[in-house]
Every structure is written in structure tokens, then in C-alpha cells.
């Protein structure tokens, strides 16, 4: 049966709060997501928690699990990520690696461990929704699976499935 973790980026924000458009977009996205979650996780940033709440409002399903904050899906060295992004010629992890290989290697390992722990906490057949940031989600996926995914746009996401001892990765819009 396997387990699934859906990682989604927060929607449009102004600082750490969603804009009115970000709220509208998150509620609309919530109406399109699968649901059936046994775990809801926010990175702890207000914009991520607010997006998660709007997703659930749009989903319209009663969920018994509540929201967990896991700061393991954030980076304590965001300024270093910003510098790497500014210097990189593109926006994916390969481009970041050219600029700061150690950053990508160490942060991917740390973020991948946070994602692995989410999988471990799920029951067989369980689903989790994690709302956070780019490129942290991309780094978490890379750290866990070794697969580099395209940059995640606001509100979009990636589904990671664990089954048969491995992982499958699928982009979500």
C-alpha cells in the first residue's frame, strides 16, 4: 500500500503573511487536493501555517490530526540560500550546487532527514501534507531520494510515495 507525503509551497505572501490573493489561491488549491491526510505539517513560518489552514478550509474535509509544526523543514541559513539564488544562473538545485556545493549537500541531508521522519511517523497507507518553502522542499526531496526536482512555484507541490523500499516522485500543480 505504501505511504505518501505531499510537499507544497506556501502561496503569495508579503513578508510572513499571505496576501489577499495568496489566501484566495490557497483556498482554491485546497478544493483540488486529494485530502485523507493523517498528518498535517507546517514549517512553522506564519505564511506556511496560514497556507495550510487555507488548504484545509478549501478541502472541506474533517481531519482529526490537527497541525504539527516541524522547523526541520526550514533553514537557519536562509541568507546563504538567498545569496546562492542570486549568484546561480538558474533556480534548481543543480544551479545552487555550482555556486555553493556544501550548502546544497549539508542542507539536503538535514532536510531529507526531516522528510524521512515524516514517512516513519505515518501509518501504512498514511498520507501527510507538508507546507513550507522553496528550495527547502526540493532539497528535502533530493536528500531523501537523490532526485532533483524542478523549482516548486507558489502553491504547487511534489508528491513523494514510499513503496517497495523505494520512493517515487511526482510533480503537482
Task: Tell me the per-residue pLDDT of 14-24, one tens digit each, with 9 for 90 and over.
Answer: 999 999 999 99
pLDDT, position 44: 97
pLDDT, position 90: 79
Q: Are strands 17-18 and 13-14 parallel, antiparallel or unpaired?
A: antiparallel
Task: Tell me how far apart the alpha carbons of residues 6 and 33 are, in angstroms, rounded to a whole number.
Answer: 10
Task: Tell me how far apart the alpha carbons of residues 137 and 144 are, in angstroms, rounded to a whole number.
Answer: 11
pLDDT, position 103: 97
Task: Tell me how far apart the alpha carbons of residues 16 and 171 are, in angstroms, rounded to a whole number.
Answer: 25
Query: Which of 26, 27, 30, 34 is closest to 10 using CA atoms?
Result: 26
pLDDT, position 50: 98
Contact 143, 9 (CB under 8 A): no
Using CA atoms, how far residue 146 sits from 15, 41, 109, 142, in Å, is 31, 22, 10, 4
Query: Which of 119, 137, 28 is closest to 72 using CA atoms?
Result: 137
Using CA atoms, how far residue 160 sits from 4, 51, 56, 84, 128, in Å, is 6, 20, 20, 26, 10
Tell me which of 3.40.50.1240, 3.40.50.300, 3.40.50.20, 3.40.50.12160 is the CATH number of domain 3-172.
3.40.50.1240
Please identify every stretch of the chain with a pLDDT value under 70, giving residue numbers as ranges: none
Q: Read off the C-alpha cell for 65.
A: 490530526
Amino acid at each position: 500500500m505504501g505511504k505518501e507525503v505531499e510537499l507544497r509551497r506556501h502561496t503569495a505572501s508579503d513578508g510572513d503573511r499571505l496576501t489577499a490573493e495568496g489566501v484566495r489561491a490557497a483556498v482554491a488549491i485546497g478544493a483540488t487536493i486529494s485530502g485523507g491526510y493523517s498528518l498535517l505539517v507546517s514549517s512553522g513560518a506564519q505564511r506556511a501555517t496560514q497556507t495550510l489552514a487555507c488548504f484545509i478550509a478549501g478541502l472541506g474535509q474533517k481531519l482529526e490530526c490537527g497541525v504539527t509544526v516541524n522547523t526541520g523543514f526550514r533553514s537557519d541559513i536562509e541568507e546563504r540560500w538567498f545569496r546562492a539564488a542570486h549568484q546561480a544562473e538558474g533556480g534548481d538545485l543543480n544551479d545552487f550546487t555550482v555556486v555553493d556545493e556544501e550548502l546544497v549537500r549539508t542542507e539536503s541531508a538535514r532536510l531529507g532527514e526531516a522528510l524521512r521522519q515524516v514517512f516513519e511517523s505515518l501509518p501504512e497507507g498514511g498520507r501527510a501534507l507538508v507546507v513550507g518553502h522553496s528550495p527547502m522542499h526540493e532539497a528535502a526531496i533530493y536528500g531523501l531520494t537523490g532526485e532533483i526536482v524542478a523549482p516548486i512555484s507558489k502553491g504547487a507541490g511534489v508528491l513523494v510515495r514510499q513503496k517497495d523500499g523505494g520512493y517515487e516522485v511526482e510533480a503537482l500543480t
